[in-house]
Amino acid sequence: MEIFLIDKIVLIVAVFGITLLFALYSTYAERKVAAFIQDRLGPNRAGAFGLLQPLADGVKFFLKEEFIPKHADKALFILGPSVSMTTALMTSAVIPWGNSLELFDRVISLQITDLNIGILYVFAVVSIGVYGIMIGGWASNNKFSLLGALRASSQMISYEIAMGLSIIALIMTTGTLSIGEIVQQQNAPILGISGASWNIIYQPLGFLIFLICAFAECNRTPFDLPESENELVGGYHTEYSSMKLGFFLFAEYTNMFISAAIMSSLYFGGYNFPFMDQLGLPHNLVTIMGTIFLFAKIVLFIFLFMWVRWTLPRFRYDQLMRMGWKMLIPLALINIIITGLLIIVLK
């Protein structure tokens, strides 16, 4: 039992650290990608290639004046970013970061916990994430913050429906709610290639809907209306400063990392990679390679997030709502029907 606990604690600390590291360097990557797309070089003064820039930014966040507006609700004002950050970090618990390692005559799973309702857990935690933004916007006692918070919450609600519906079609094909099992199933051979039966092959439309909704859930462009800086100053974080602002921004990047991980796990085979069982390599090595592949997929998704951000302008609010309710939800429903019909026909 103690050994089990030690395993889990080590894993939790590792995942926590890696998540934060990724969020930290996402800020750097974002600036670099933005710069490169705009024919600039981006930060390159702090350290080699500007690699120490995130540390400098972090130090700056800590040293900035901590300011709480006079009319703000102090308790809620502090609670807002805390909720955002906590929920952003909680989701990583159910993501399988790798298969399993055989160490000291024991099998250690690289998933912190394989909840049998893992997907529901993810959705529940992500939904709580809106509260952080909502509370922060409300507590600021500022009309711009409140508008940003309102936009965030209504946008999240609209897109969570389509996201949930696209996941239902996926669950229909996999028959399980556990993310660990869903990833395991994608190891099945297809056309003689092991580890390649990724769900994207069975659910292309579902993935597309999920991807679009993930953009909306992360408040990324073209759906970054909650913080649209040219109409709402800064949206829900207008009144925030110092590390509390840092928490909000950090939560956004953590969310991006987590949703990239979830998309890789649900649709792109997670830690599975083609020919993984046919290489004849020892199990531990394959597991480590799988983890590396998972992180490669995550990095690609994060790059996609940034690529889209620096390509597209922001949607108008009515366009956003029309797209969510009139396009994505019907499409997701059609996807469910088609999936159901195909399951009946093929079985």
Partner 1 sequence: MHSLSNRSKVVVNKEMTLKEKMYLPAIFGGMMITIKHFFKRKPTIQYPEQKREFSKVYRGRHILKRDEQGRENCTACGLCAVACPAEAISIVAAERKKGEEHLYREEKYAKTYEINMLRCIFCGLCEEACPKDAVYLTEELAPANFDRSNFIFGKDKLVQPIGTSAHPKTYKPYKK
4 binds partner 1 (CB under 8 A): no
Question: Residue 183 corresponds to which tokens in the numbers above?
Answer: 């990833």
Q: Binding residue for partner 1 (CB under 8 A) from 20, 37, 115, 172?
A: 37
Sort 62 into a burial class: Cβ within 10 Å, 0-12 / 13-18 / 19+. exposed
300 binds partner 1 (CB under 8 A): no
Q: Binding residue for partner 1 (CB under 8 A) from 312, 334, 337, 341?
A: 312
Q: Binding residue for partner 1 (CB under 8 A) from 3, 6, 36, 175?
A: 36
Spatial neighbors of 254 by CB under 8 A, at least 6 apart, are 19, 20, 22, 23, 85, 88, 89
* Whole-angstrom distance, CA of residue 299 vs CA of residue 247: 22
225 binds partner 1 (CB under 8 A): no
Other beta carbons within 10 Å of 28:
20
CB of 305 to partner 1, least distance (A): 12
Question: Residue 198 corresponds to which tokens in the numbers above?
Answer: 């990724």
Q: Binding residue for partner 1 (CB under 8 A) from 33, 130, 214, 320?
A: 33
Which CB, 2 or 39, lies closer to partner 1? 39
Which CB, 74 or 326, lies closer to partner 1? 326
Q: In this chain, which stretch among 3-11, 29-37, 154-162, 286-294 interacts with partner 1, using CB under 8 A?
A: 29-37
Which CB, 62 or 307, lies closer to partner 1? 307
CB of 172 to partner 1, least distance (A): 24
- Compute CA distances 133 → 26, 49, 239, 251, whole Å: 20, 34, 12, 10
Give Cα 21 to chain centroid, integer Å: 14
Residues 314-343 that bind partner 1 (CB under 8 A): 323
Q: Binding residue for partner 1 (CB under 8 A) from 6, 9, 40, 190?
A: 40
41 binds partner 1 (CB under 8 A): yes
- Amino acid (1-letter code) at residue 276: M
311 binds partner 1 (CB under 8 A): yes
Instruction: Reduce the DSSP state of residue 334 to 3 states and report it.
Output: helix
Sort 164 into a burial class: Cβ within 10 Å, 0-12 / 13-18 / 19+. middle
308 binds partner 1 (CB under 8 A): yes
CB of 304 to partner 1, least distance (A): 9
Q: Is the separation of the CB atoms in 292 and 333 below 8 Å?
A: no
Give Cα 201 to chain centroid, integer Å: 21
Which CB, 38 or 230, lies closer to partner 1? 38
Residue 84: phi, psi to the nearest 5? -55, -50
Q: Binding residue for partner 1 (CB under 8 A) from 16, 131, 310, 325?
A: 310
275 binds partner 1 (CB under 8 A): no
Question: Residue 166 corresponds to which tokens in the numbers above?
Answer: 């696209």
Which CB, 113 or 311, lies closer to partner 1? 311
What length is written for the chain?
347
47 binds partner 1 (CB under 8 A): no
Q: Please give the size of the binding site for partner 1, defined by CB under 8 A.
A: 13
Q: Measure the CA dihedral 231/236/242/247, to 10°.
A: -130
Q: Which residues bind partner 1 (CB under 8 A)?
A: 33, 36-41, 307-308, 310-312, 323
